[in-house]
């Protein structure tokens, strides 16, 4: 089944003391959906959450679906995308597009649900390591993601002044 990468915005906050939080919970406070990072259940009160700074972060979600519309529908059914009446905790980033990940015959899913390159080995990684769509380095051999990145780079290097969109080098 095709895989789509959906760019997302997450509204989140950190409640309590310390630089590290061990628990996370989707919550709604004053109509705003939030991903709340915390350690102590006693910190999960609207009063305490209101006192904390809120931040918006960018991330990507990989969703297996038959089409972009199906991927968008699956995304909107996720817990964070349903929380919040004034602003959702998790929403699709309108400034970045949903992209279809190129098919790869080496891509598999390991027992943890992660994408791996090659068949899974005993360690949880694939024969050639973890898959690049999970944020790992691309393998040295012919990877479909590398081809896509090279194509995107060449398109970015087209001259915007030329009617025929020649490469930048030929216009300079």
pLDDT in tens, 111-162: 988 999 988 888 888 888 888 888 888 887 788 887 777 666 565 555 555 6
d(CA 22, CA 24): 7
d(CA 144, CA 72): 23
pLDDT tens across 25-70, in order? 999 999 999 999 898 888 888 888 888 878 899 999 999 999 999 9
pLDDT at 20 over 80: no
Residue 75 is predicted with a pLDDT of: 95
d(CA 79, CA 113): 19
Give the integer Cα–Cα distance in Å for 56 and 90: 10
Pairing mode, if any, of strands 32-38 and 90-92? unpaired
The percent helix, strand, coil of the chain (3-state, each to 5) is 25, 35, 45
How far apart are the C-alpha atoms of 158 and 20, rounded to whole Å?
45
- Predicted confidence at residue 157, as pLDDT, reads 54
pLDDT, average across residues 77-85: 93
pTM for this entry: 0.75
């Amino acid at each position: 089944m095709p895989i789509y990468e959906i760019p997302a915005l997450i509204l989140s906050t950190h409640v309590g003391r310390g630089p590290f939080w061990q628990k996370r919970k989707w919550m709604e406070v004053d109509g705003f959906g939030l991903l709340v990072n915390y350690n102590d259940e006693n910190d999960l009160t609207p009063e305490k959450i209101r006192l904390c700074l809120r931040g918006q972060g960018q991330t990507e979600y990989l969703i297996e679906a038959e089409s972009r519309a199906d991927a968008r529908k699956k995304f909107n059914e996720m817990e964070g995308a349903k929380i919040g009446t004034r602003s959702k905790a998790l929403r699709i980033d309108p400034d970045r597009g949903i992209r279809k990940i190129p098919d790869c015959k080496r891509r598999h899913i390991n027992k943890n649900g992660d994408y791996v390159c090659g068949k899974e080995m005993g360690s949880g990684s694939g024969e050639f390591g973890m898959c690049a769509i999970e944020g790992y380095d691309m393998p040295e051999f012919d990877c479909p993601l590398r081809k896509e990145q090279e194509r995107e780079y060449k398109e970015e290097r087209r001259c915007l002044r030329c009617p025929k969109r020649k490469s930048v080098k030929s216009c300079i």
